[in-house]
Amino acid sequence: MRLDKFLSSMGIASRSEVSAAARRGAITVDGVVCRDASTHIDPDRSAVVFCGRSVTYKKYRYIMLNKPEGYVSATEDGKDPTVLDLLPEEYKKFNLFPCGRLDKNTLGLMLITDNGELSHRLLSPKRHVKKTYVYRSKFPITDEEKELLESGVTLDDGYETKPSVIELDSGRDSGKITLTEGKYHQIKRMFESVNNKIIYLERVTFGPLVLDASLGRGEWRELNENEIKALEEHAK
């Protein structure tokens, strides 16, 4: 890959900025000053330093966001802020998008990436990727309602939900629910089907990812290597 393409695709500088920096002698490749921006490098092996900053090649970006209320899971929206608005300016040049959707008032774990293929595989209904949500309902649920919700209920459009698992808290009006699918407003509609109402919903896991407790609402971080590997394994 050309040096200028490598640095611009990493979001470090535009191609013309790379050329200018190369001419100034501000770029080294494997410890040697490189004055020609069209030089071919090996993105996985060459040690590139741009203006004193070491640049590691990343084909894709993977971001864990703790979604706050009021943001929509979209790349753009005419009305509301999107989850991408929570990322700093330098990420705007990548084709990032949210992997899956959370409702505007749902909180918690959201994966944002530019890896379309991995995202597609993680969201495919065939893969049954598990998602766990902490919830609170308006009314406590009975054992019969819990069993119904777990074995499958019929939603308002006639869809029969797949089995889910509920861990109820002692008060019976809150707990955790784990689904292997993600229909529109699924958990809210599941609880409506038993004449109840979800009043708090926060996703805490997505496949192998667990919401990082150190992230405040609206905060994000890039996934570490282990998390990326686990996601790739999950999507196989």
Q: How far apart are CA 150 and CA 127, in angstroms?
A: 19
Q: Which residues bind ligand URA (CB under 6 A)?
A: 102-103, 106, 185-188, 201
Closest CB 164 distance from ligand URA, rounded Å: 11
Cβ pair 142, 195 in contact under 8 A: no
Closest CB 216 distance from ligand URA, rounded Å: 20
Report the residue number, 28 or 193, with the smaller CB distance to ligand URA: 193
With CB atoms as reference, the residue minimizing the distance to ligand URA is 106
Catalytic residue among 36, 103, 173, 212: 103
Closest CB 184 distance from ligand URA, rounded Å: 8
Cα 84 to the center of its chain, rounded Å? 10
How far is CA 176 from each of CA 131, 132, 133, 155, rounded to the nearest angstrom? 10, 7, 5, 20
Report the residue number, 199 or 230, with the smaller CB distance to ligand URA: 199
Q: Can 103 be counted among the known catalytic residues?
A: yes
Report the residue number, 56 or 195, with the smaller CB distance to ligand URA: 195
Closest CB 221 distance from ligand URA, rounded Å: 21
Report the residue number, 65 or 228, with the smaller CB distance to ligand URA: 65
Helix axis angle, 116-123 to 225-234, nearest 10°: 50
Q: How far apart are CA 96 and CA 60, in angstroms?
A: 9
Please enumerate, as own/partner, the contacts of 227-233 that have beta carbons within 8 Å and a separation of 24 or more: 227/62, 227/64, 228/62, 231/62, 231/111, 231/118, 231/122, 231/207, 232/118, 233/208
**Residues tagged active-site:** 103
